[in-house]
Amino acid sequence: MNTIRQVPSRVKSRRTETNLGAEREHFDKQQLSSISKAINATETPVKEKHARRIILGTHREKGAYTFWSYALGLPLASSSILSWKFCHVLHKVLRDGHHNSLQDCMRHHSTLIEIGTLWGNLHDKYGQLVALYAKLLCTKMEFHVKHAEIRPNLEATDEVLERTAGTDINNVFQLTVEVFDYMDTELRLAETVIRQLNTSIAISTLTSGQCRLAPLIQVIQDCSHLYHFTVKLLFKLHACLPADTLQGHRDRFHDQFHSLKSFFNKARDMLYFKRLIQIPKLPDSPPNFLHAASLAKHVKPVVVIPDEDEPEQQDDDDDDPEPLIEVSEVTTSSVQAQPQQFDIFDQTFGPPNGGFDDRDLQIDSLKRDLEMLRAELERVKAEAQRYITQLKSQINSLEAELEEQRAQKQRALVENEQLRMELEATRRRNAEHENVQATFSEAEKRAQATEQRYNKLKEKHTELVSSHAELLRKSADTVKMLSATQQTQEEVERTKQQLSFEVDRIKQEADMRMEEQKFELEKLRRDLEEKMAEVTRMKANLQSNEKVGEQLNSSVTALQAEKERLMRSVSEKEAELSSLRQAAQAQQSSLQQERERSSREMGDLQGKLQEKVSREEQLKQKLLEEQFVLLQGTVTEAENIIQDAVAKLDDPLHVRCTSSPDYLISRAEATLGSIDKVKKGHTDFLTNMADAGGLVRALTQFSHLAADTIINGSATAHMAPTDHADRLTENCRGCATQSLQFLKDLKAKATVQRADPASIRIVVQKILHLGQELRPKGMDVRQDELGDLVDKEMASTSAAIEEAVRRIDEMMNQARKDTSGVKLEVNERILNSCTDLMKAIRLLVLASTDLQKEIVESGRGAATIKEFYARNSRWTEGLISASKAVGWGATQMVESADKVVLHTGKYEELIVCSHEIAASTAQLVAASKVKADRNSKKLTTLQQASRHVNEMAANVVGSTKTGLEHLEDKDTMDFSGMSLIKLRKEEMESQVKVLELESQLENERLRLGELRKKHYDIAGIPVEQMSEGNGLTSSPAHPSPSSPKPSKPAVMRKPALAQKPSIPPKNMFK
C-alpha cells in the first residue's frame, strides 16, 4: 500500500529523468549549433570558441560519437571549403579531444579516405589541400592506434618514447620510418598551403588566406614533437647500427630538417601567426648523428600558444555557456532537499485519499508505454541491423562476382598462351613416345636373343641328362671291375681332380650375367666333350679297378647335385624371362594408351587452335573495319572544318577581319609541314591498314592548319592591293577545293589508293609566295646592323633592370629612415612587390636570351649570326622593339615608385606601369616564341617566367590598391540634417558632376586611342594592322574589340584601362 512518503520519491525520480533528458537535448542542440557554425562553406577560419565547445563535448560524453553523428550529415562532397574546415575541426578533436575520440574516428577511416580521393581527383585548389589533409589525418590515426602509448597530441616524455621503441633494434628502425612518413605528410600539407598563398602581409591578413593558414597551427605543434622524436630515435639507431646502414635515414632527415626550417621561417614572418603562436627556431645545421656527444647539444623545440587576454564576444544567436558540473552533485543536492520536498508536497496536494492516488496509475501506464517503446526500438534496431547485414552480404556477393569476372578475364587472356604451351608439350611427348617405341623395339630384340640362348641352354641340359644316364650305366660296369691293376689308380685320381676342377669352373661360369650366357654355354659344351672323351678313355681303366668305381660314384653324386643346381638356375632364368615379357607387354599397352590419349589431345588442341585462328581473323577484319570507320569519321570532320572555313570567305562579318602577311606565311609553312605528315601517314596506312593512328593525327592537324590558312589568307586579302587580293582569294578557294577532293578520295576504299596531296601543296605554295610578296620591308635599321643591335638592346635591358633593383633598394632604405607606422608598412609592401617584379623581369630577359641563342644556333645553319638576323629582319625588329619596351617600362616603374614614396606622384601611375610592363613582357615572349621549337625546354622556361612576371605585376597592383585603401580617409556621408529641397539640389549637382566625369572619361579614351594610333604609325605598322600587331602583341584569349563609331579610332590591346564597347567583339587573327 502506497503511503504519502512514497509519492515524492517517485515524483523526484520522474523530475530527475526529465532534467537529464532536457540536459541531453540541450547538449545535442549546443553541439549541432557549434558544428554548423564551425564547419560551413564560408571562406573564413574556424572560430576558436566553436571548436572549443566541440572538444568539451567530446570530454563530456567521453567520445566523439555525437560529433560524427552530425558530421556524417554534412555535404562534404559538394564544397571543398566545407571539407577543408571539417578536416581542421577533426584535427583539433584528435589532438585535444577525449582519448576515446581516436577509436570513434578510426571507425570512419574509410569515409575520410573516400573524401580525400574524391577531392584529389578534382582540379580545385582547396580540393588538393583536402586530399593532403585527409591523408595526414589517416596517417595520424593509424600511427596512434598502432602506438597507443603516444597520445594524438604527441606530448610524450622521453621515457614513453623509449618504452614505445623497446629494446629490439628492428622495432626502433620501423618506428623511425613511421615517424618519417608522419612528418612527410605534415610538411607536404604545409608546403602546399604556403605555395598556394602569397606570403605577403596583405594576403595573410585576409580571411581567405587565414582560412588556409589556420590548420597550420596544429601542423606546427605536431612537427615540433615529431622533430624531437626523430632526433632521439636516430641517435639510438646510430648507437646500435653501423653508420653506412643508416645513410638513407640521415639523408631523409636532412631533407625534412631543411623543409621544416624553411616552413618555420616563412610562418614566423606572417602577421597571422605572430599573435596566435610562438614558433621555435631550429638550429642552423642538423645534428651530427655520427658523434654521440651531439645529443647533449640537442634542445627540444617548444611551441607556445599565448593565452588570449580579451574574452571572446559571443554571437547573438549563440547558446548559453555549457555548465561544467557533474550529475552526481545534482543528485546529492536533490537528496538533501528531500525532506523539504515532503512538506511542499503535503502543503500543495494535501493528505492522501485513502492511501491511493490516480497519479500512480498514470505512472504505471507511462512505464508500460515506455517498456513498449523500448521493445519497439529494439525491434527497429534489430531490423535495421538485419537490413545492414543483408546489404553487406549483397555488397560482398557483388564484389565476389566482380572478382570472379576479373579472374575469368585474366584466365581468358592466359588461355591462348596455355594452349600454345600444351601444344609444345604434346609435341615433346610425341618425340618421347617415338624414343620409347625405339627402346621397346630394342628390348624386344634383346628378349628374342634371350629366348634363343634359353633354347640352347635347354639343348645342353638334355645332353647333360643323357651323358649322366650313360655315366650311370658305366658305373654299373665299373663295379664289376674291382680287380683292375694298381697302375691305373694314379691315373684315375688325376682324372678325379680334373673332374672336380671342371665342375667348379662350370659352377662359376653358370653364375655369370645373361649377356655372357652364349659364350659360357659354348665353353661348357667344349668342356663336356672333353669330359666325354676322358670318360671314354677311363672306361677301359675302370673295368679292372673297383676302387676307382667307388670314387666315380662319389663324383657322379656331385655331378647330380650340380645338375639340380643348374636346373634351379634355368627355372629362375625362365621366371625372369616371363617377367620381362610381362613388363614389355605392360609397357607396350601403356604406350598404346598414351599414343591414343596424345592423339585425342592433339585433335582437341588442333580444333582449339583452328578456332583461335578463326577468331583472330575475325578480330583482325573487325579491326580493319573499325580503323577505316575511324578514318572516315576523321575525314568527315576535316571536311566540315574546311567547308566552315570556305563559308567564312563569303561571310559579310568576315570582311571586317584582317591579318598580317607574316602570320599568313607562318600558317602556310605549318600547313606545308602538315601536308608532308599527311603523305607519310597515308603511305604508312597503305602499308598497314590495321593502324590508322598516324594518318588520323596528321589529318586532324592538316584540317585545322588548312582552315587557318584559308581564313587568314582571306583576312590578309582584305588589306592587300586588288590584284594580290584577287589572286590570294582565288588560291584560298583552290586550296579548299583540292583539300576537299583529297579528303573525298580518302573516304572510299576504292579511291584511297590514288589519293595524293600534291595538288594541295602547289596551291599552298602559291599562297606562301603571295604572302611573301605582301610582307612589308624593314625601315629603321640596316640589315647588317640588326645582329649587333639585338645584343645591345638585350644588354641594355638587363642593365636597366639591375639599375632599377638598385634604386628600389635605395628607396627602401630611405623610406625606413623618413617614414614610420602605416606609411612605412605601405611603402615597404609596394617596394617589395616592385623588387619582386624587377627580379621576375630579369629572369624573363635571361630566359628570352637563352631561347634566342637556341633559335639562332638551330636556324642559321652555315650562315653567321648577323646573316641570320638579316635574313629574319622582321623577327629581329620585333625582338628589338620588345626589349626596348621592357627596359623603358622598368625605368618608368622605378620613377613612379620614387614619386609615390616621396608623396609627389600618384598610385595610379604604378598601376599603369605594371600593366605596361605586363604588355611589354608579353610582346617579348611572343616575339621569342615565333621561331622557337614547340617542344623546346627553354621555351617552356620562358613561358613560366612570363607567367611569373604577370603574377608579380598583379602583386604590385594589389599592393598599391591595398596601400591606397589604408591611406585614404573616407568621410562619412551624413545627410540627416538636410531638408527635402536641399537633398534634391545636392542630387542634381551630383548628377551634373557624374555627367562631366563621364564626358572627361570619353575624351580621355579618344585621346588614348589617338596616342596608340600615333605610336603604331611611328613604329612602322599601318592603322589597319593595329588589331593584330604582326602577331606579336595580340592575345588570342582576349581579342581587342573595334569601336562602333567610324569617327573613333581603333584602340590596340593594352592594359585594361578603357571600358569595353557595348557591341560584340570582332574576330581577330594573328
pLDDT at 519 over 60: yes
Percent of the chain scored above 90 by pLDDT? 18
Confidence of residue 974 (pLDDT cuts 50, 70, 90): low
pLDDT at 92 over 90: yes
Contact present, 911 and 924 (Cβ < 8 Å) = no
- Cα–Cα distance for residue pair 30/49, rounded to 1 Å: 12
Q: Which three cell numbers stand for residue 893?
A: 616603374
- Cα–Cα distance for residue pair 685/694, rounded to 1 Å: 8
- Integer-rounded Cα Rg, in Å, for the chain is 53
> Can you give the pLDDT at residue 985?
79
Fill in the DSSP letter of residue 1021.
Answer: -
> Can you give the pLDDT at residue 271?
86
- What residue type is 681 in one-letter code? G
Q: Point out the least confidently predicted range of 81-95, 510-524, 668-682.
A: 510-524
pLDDT at 367 over 70: yes
- Cα–Cα distance for residue pair 220/204, rounded to 1 Å: 17
Confidence of residue 395 (pLDDT cuts 50, 70, 90): confident
- Cα–Cα distance for residue pair 1002/697, rounded to 1 Å: 50
Confidence of residue 221 (pLDDT cuts 50, 70, 90): very high
- Cα–Cα distance for residue pair 82/126, rounded to 1 Å: 10
Please state the length of the chain.
Answer: 1070
pLDDT at 83 over 90: yes
What is the torsion angle, in degrees rounded to the nearest 10, for the CA atoms of residue 442, residue 446, residue 447 and residue 452? 140
Fill in the DSSP letter of residue 1033.
Answer: S
**Higher pLDDT, residue 781 or 701:** 701
For residue 372, the tally of other CB atoms under 10 A from its CB is 10
Burial of 700 (0-12, 13-18, 19+ CB in 10 A): middle
Q: Point out the least confidently predicted range of 475-484, 703-712, 996-1005.
A: 475-484
CB within 8 A of 726, min separation 6: which ones?
A: 717
Contact present, 229 and 161 (Cβ < 8 Å) = yes
Q: What is the pLDDT of residues 932-969, one digit of tens each?
A: 777 788 888 888 888 888 888 888 888 877 777 776 65
Percent of the chain scored above 70 by pLDDT? 76
Q: Point out the least confidently predicted range of 246-260, 581-595, 984-998, 1055-1069.
A: 1055-1069
- What residue type is 1065 in one-letter code? P
Contact present, 74 and 87 (Cβ < 8 Å) = no
Confidence of residue 1011 (pLDDT cuts 50, 70, 90): confident
- Cα–Cα distance for residue pair 1070/1065, rounded to 1 Å: 15
> Can you give the pLDDT at residue 315?
45
- Whether the full predicted model's pTM is greater than 0.75, yes or no, is no
Q: Which backbone phi and psi does 109 adopt, to 5 degrees? A: -60, -40
H runs (alpha helix) in 480-545: 487-510, 517-542
- Cα–Cα distance for residue pair 858/802, rounded to 1 Å: 30
H runs (alpha helix) in 865-906: 865-871, 873-901
- Cα–Cα distance for residue pair 921/950, rounded to 1 Å: 9
Average pLDDT, rounded, for the chain: 77
Confidence of residue 261 (pLDDT cuts 50, 70, 90): very high
pLDDT at 790 over 70: no
3-state SS record for 281-319: CCCCCCCCCCCHHHHHHCCCCCCECCCCCCCCCCCCCCC
pLDDT at 313 over 50: no
The average pLDDT across 748-752 equals: 84
> Can you give the pLDDT at residue 630?
87
For 1054, the 3-state DSSP assignment is: coil
Closest CA to 675 of 759, 550, 585, 737: 759
CB-side neighbour CA atoms (13 Å) of 855: 22
The average pLDDT across 440-448 equals: 77
Contact present, 868 and 783 (Cβ < 8 Å) = no
Confidence of residue 325 (pLDDT cuts 50, 70, 90): very low
CB within 8 A of 240, min separation 6: which ones?
A: 169, 172
What is the torsion angle, in degrees rounded to the nearest 10, for the CA atoms of residue 238, residue 239, residue 242 and residue 247? 0
Sign of CA dihedral 941, 943, 946, 952: negative
For residue 49, the tally of other CB atoms under 10 A from its CB is 18
Own/partner contacts of 305-314, CB < 8 Å, gap of 24 or more, are: 305/217, 305/276, 305/277, 305/278, 306/275, 306/276, 306/277, 306/278, 312/47, 312/48, 312/49, 314/49
> Can you give the pLDDT at residue 466?
78
Spell out a b/e string for 930-955, using b for 16 or more CB atoms within 10 Å of the CB, else e. bbbeeebebbebbbebbebbbebbeb
**Higher pLDDT, residue 578 or 611:** 611
Q: Point out the least confidently predicted range of 93-107, 238-252, 662-676, 772-786.
A: 772-786
Longest dimension (CA), the chain: 193
- Cα–Cα distance for residue pair 121/469, rounded to 1 Å: 111
* Residue reference for cell 671342371: 502
Q: Point out the least confidently predicted range of 277-291, 535-549, 991-1005, 1017-1031.
A: 1017-1031
Q: Point out the least confidently predicted range of 102-106, 459-463, 644-648, 775-779.
A: 775-779
Q: Which three cell numbers stand for residue 235?
A: 641517435
Closest CA to 136 of 187, 72, 212: 187
Contact present, 841 and 917 (Cβ < 8 Å) = yes
Range picked from 196-200, 338-342, 566-570, 870-874 for highest mean pLDDT:
566-570
Distance, CA of 208 to chain centre: 29
Contact present, 263 and 226 (Cβ < 8 Å) = no
Vertex 324: Cα angle to 319 and 326 (nearest 5): 130
For residue 586, the tally of other CB atoms under 10 A from its CB is 10
* Residue reference for cell 585474366: 410
